[in-house]
């Protein structure tokens, strides 16, 4: 049998609720917080008299140190988080700018393709009674006189046809008529400048407002007139120039 080692009584703490508890000198404690509390409370107790001090120290100091430690450890994380957010926002901004540039470039490409597809086509209008007599405009005093000219694809014989409108690009005039006379007039998109062509190779050209047809006898220099019915002189071949 081994004799028990004596326990020094300097570490005995007496409380009203418990008996004396011995803490051998040099024994490791459970935590730094417990050591701090023991070091503050034990000297203040009157072991011999068994009295309780008027003021018991608090643990505000250790809690404050713990709070500061947590702040020191989390501050770098917060800074990193803010930096990451700023970097992410920067990347998103750059991506948005690149997307806008791509979208703008795509719009330009699509717009260019649309413009190319919608580019007007030049035509010559040949009278069905002759393979060499074309619709020609002679401008005089703001109004154009329409005759048949020898087909030579000159500017006076070139027409752009779109939406029922026959436009001569050289003069800026459009095929026009009042039901009695046929002429050209500066393009205005009015009802007197709207025409309907039939299908097929030899077409009739009908004036929408009057219901009459464009007519000429096929002779070079002949005047172009209105005709109420469709005849051989009111047939036209529209060919690209």
pLDDT per residue over 53-91, tens digit each? 455 455 566 667 767 766 676 555 555 545 555 665 665
Instruction: Note down the domain range covering 96.
Output: 73-119
Q: pLDDT tens, 99-155?
A: 554 455 444 444 444 445 567 899 999 998 888 999 999 887 678 889 999 999 999
Residue 120: per-residue pLDDT: 82
Residue 82: per-residue pLDDT: 54
Report if residue 3 sits inside a domain.
Answer: no
- Is the domain of 132 the same as that of 36? no
Report if residue 145 sits inside a domain.
Answer: yes
- Is the domain of 139 the same as that of 80? no
Report if residue 62 sits inside a domain.
Answer: no
Residue 121: per-residue pLDDT: 92
- Which residues lie below 8 Å from residue 120, measured CB to CB, with a gap of 6+? 160, 162, 167, 169
- Is the domain of 229 the same as that of 211? yes
Distances 217 to 29, 86, 151, 154 between C-alpha atoms, Å = 125, 81, 15, 21
Percentage of the chain lying above the pLDDT 90 cut = 40
- Its sign, for the CA torsion 187, 166, 158, 147, is negative
């Amino acid at each position: 049998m081994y004799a028990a080692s004596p326990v020094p009584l300097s570490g005995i703490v007496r409380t009203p609720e418990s008996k004396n508890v011995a803490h051998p000198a040099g024994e490791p404690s459970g935590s730094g917080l417990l050591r701090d509390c023991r070091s503050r409370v034990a000297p203040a107790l009157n072991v011999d008299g068994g009295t309780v001090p008027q003021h018991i120290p608090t643990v505000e100091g250790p809690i404050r140190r713990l709070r500061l430690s947590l702040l020191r450890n989390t501050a770098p994380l917060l800074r990193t988080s803010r930096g990451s957010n700023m970097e992410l926002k920067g990347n998103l901004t750059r991506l948005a700018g690149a997307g806008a540039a791509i979208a703008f470039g795509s719009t330009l490409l699509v717009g260019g393709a649309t413009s190319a597809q919608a580019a007007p086509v030049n035509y010559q209008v040949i009278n069905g009674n002759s393979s060499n007599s074309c619709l020609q405009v002679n401008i005089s005093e703001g109004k154009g006189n329409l005759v048949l000219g020898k087909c030579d694809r000159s500017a006076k014989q070139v027409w752009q046809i779109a939406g029922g409108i026959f436009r001569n690009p050289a003069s800026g005039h459009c095929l026009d008529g009042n039901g009695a006379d046929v002429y050209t007039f500066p393009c205005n998109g009015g009802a007197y400048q709207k025409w309907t062509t039939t299908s097929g190779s030899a077409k009739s050209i009908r004036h929408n407002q009057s219901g009459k047809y464009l007519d000429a006898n096929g002779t070079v220099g002949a005047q172009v007139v209105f005709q109420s019915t469709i005849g051989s002189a009111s047939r036209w071949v529209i060919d690209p120039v």
